[in-house]
Amino acid sequence: MVFSSITFLYYFLPITLIFYFLMPQKLKNLILLIMSLLFYFYGEPKYIIILIFSCIYNYYFGKLIEKSKHKKIYLIINLITNFGILFYFKYFNFFLENINNIISTNYSIYIIMPIGISFFTFQATSYIIDIYKGKIKSAKNILTFATYLTLFPQLIAGPIVRYETIEKELKERKVNFETFGNGVRRFVIGLSKKVLVANVLGELSQSLSVITTKTILSHWIIAISDTLQIYFDFSGYSDMAIGLGLMFGFKFLENFNYPLIAKSVTDFWRRWHISLSSWFKDYVYIPLGGSKVSNLKRYRNILIVWMITGFWHGASWNFIVWGLYFAIFLIIEKAFLLKILEKHKILSHVYTILIVIISFVIFNRTNFSDIRLFLENMFGFGNLTFTNIETNYYLKNYVFIILTAIICSMSYKKIYIRIKDNKIFNFIEPIIVIILLILCTAYIVNESFNPFLYFRF
């Protein structure tokens, strides 16, 4: 089920809220678990079995690892199982294809990837590793653990929530108008990012991609709107997850921190999909030696981590290249560039955003000749005119939404802190949120069904 659907907003959510708030404290986790399983079942009826297996399997391994003397063996068995399942469903086809290409065979197998498997596998393994390291205690009962792993706000597209983050809240949590209202606000903002901005930019990119005569400008508009679209789509999803979490008394960590205003690639990755990059940092980069090793080893570690980060996004070569592409800039920055960038404020923004825009050209195209052609055209090596009637037509139609997106991708924390106690603002803010909710409903009703970009990850 997607959040930006009538089914979720006007059927699933009200029903869940009623049951949740009518039930006594003891049963609240059970309600959440049942509704989360239903939420998953709705989009992936058959594969619910994998999710349930993951709950039971990891719960018992958590217990086992905590008590056993042979912690390491159980840890290894567990990681092999978890990543084995992920590998089978997400990467097996990819490896088969590549083997076929190398030894000229033609094996094929039809595998559909269960929604959200990358996310819940990473949550489960973080839980297991944290127990192994003694960082957390295992969940008291299977209900607690299953509620954690399946929690519907973050189940299918993140953020990747660590057990330690919500450990206390799984036992006891309070919801009042203050937290619920914060949740509503956050949720509606996320919904608006997805429905009012990301989807509309998707339309623009789609329209420009199919026009007969392409231009340099049309390539730039596509690249820019794709970047904005991914940001608004994905961060909108995280906002909705965080908002829903608040409505039910959970406080998830932030997943995005205005990445498009980053001043370097290093800075960008501190602000983009934070729960994923910190997962890789804690469970791959640091175990490899992290930054406390020689420069050469450190660069090797960066390359490894970013290659896997890329590969996590999808079973295709372009994602690996996308990760390595970032790794190269991260290494260059660590070596010397960061010091230079610090001195040039505007230049550092331009440099970062350009690298990010180009990265999503790679991200969005699985075929390397498509990537090359697109970049050639973008930078004027493709014998294209600068613009034409079609490009101008779409630019005129969408210029305002692009500007809105750019303005909304910046941080207004300081202004917000200053005006948040202002009476007029306090009066207007709820009205704006409700108007946004109605607008989103109108957009959803108008466009009917639309899947999230990040759904198959």
Q: List interacting residues with another protein (CB under 8 A).
A: 1, 5-7, 9-11, 13-14, 17, 42-46, 177-178, 180-182, 184-185, 188, 200, 207, 210-212, 389-390, 392-394, 396-401, 404, 426, 429-430, 433-434, 437-439, 441-446, 448-449
- Is residue 21 within 8 Å of 183, Cβ to Cβ? no
Contacts with 372 (C-beta within 8 Å, 6 or more apart), sequence order: none
Which is closer to another protein, CB of 343 or CB of 396? 396
Instruction: For residues 19 and 31, give the distance between their C-alpha atoms in angstroms, rounded to a whole number.
Output: 7
For the bound state, the minimum distance from the C-beta of residue 182 to another protein, rounded and expressed in Å, comes to 6
For the bound state, the minimum distance from the C-beta of residue 409 to another protein, rounded and expressed in Å, comes to 16
For tokens 């678990």, what's the residue?
A: 33
For the bound state, the minimum distance from the C-beta of residue 20 to another protein, rounded and expressed in Å, comes to 12
Which is closer to another protein, CB of 47 or CB of 145? 47
Which is closer to another protein, CB of 381 or CB of 449? 449
Which is closer to another protein, CB of 173 or CB of 297? 173
- Is residue 294 within 8 Å of 311, Cβ to Cβ? no
The active-site residue, picked from 273, 313, 344, 349, is: 313
Instruction: For residues 106 and 236, give the distance between their C-alpha atoms in angstroms, rounded to a whole number.
Output: 41
Contacts with 245 (C-beta within 8 Å, 6 or more apart), sequence order: 151, 153, 154, 183, 251, 252
Instruction: For residues 212 and 390, give the distance between their C-alpha atoms in angstroms, rounded to a whole number.
Output: 9
Which is closer to another protein, CB of 304 or CB of 401? 401
For the bound state, the minimum distance from the C-beta of residue 197 to another protein, rounded and expressed in Å, comes to 10
Query: Per-residue DSSP letters for 340-370?
Result: HHHH-HHHHHHHHHHHHHHHHHHHT-S-HHH
Instruction: For residues 342 and 328, give the distance between their C-alpha atoms in angstroms, rounded to a whole number.
Output: 19
User: What token pair was written down for 251?
Assistant: 């406080």
Instruction: For residues 457 and 230, give the distance between their C-alpha atoms in angstroms, rounded to a whole number.
Output: 13
Which is closer to another protein, CB of 289 or CB of 430? 430
Length of the chain (residues): 457
Burial 302-314 (b: 16+ CB within 10 A, else e): bbbbbbebbbbbb
Which is closer to another protein, CB of 248 or CB of 268? 248
344 is catalytic: no
Judged by DSSP in three states, 385 sits in: coil
CB atoms within 10 A of CB 197: 23
Handedness of CA 378, 383, 385, 388 (dihedral sign): negative
For the bound state, the minimum distance from the C-beta of residue 406 to another protein, rounded and expressed in Å, comes to 14
Q: E strands within 297-403?
A: none
Instruction: For residues 142 and 245, give the distance between their C-alpha atoms in angstroms, rounded to a whole number.
Output: 20
For the bound state, the minimum distance from the C-beta of residue 235 to another protein, rounded and expressed in Å, comes to 20
Which phi and psi angles does 26 have, rounded to 5°? -60, -35
For the bound state, the minimum distance from the C-beta of residue 199 to another protein, rounded and expressed in Å, comes to 11
Burial 398-411 (b: 16+ CB within 10 A, else e): beebbebbeebbee
For the bound state, the minimum distance from the C-beta of residue 213 to another protein, rounded and expressed in Å, comes to 8
Which is closer to another protein, CB of 181 or CB of 290? 181
Active site residues: 313
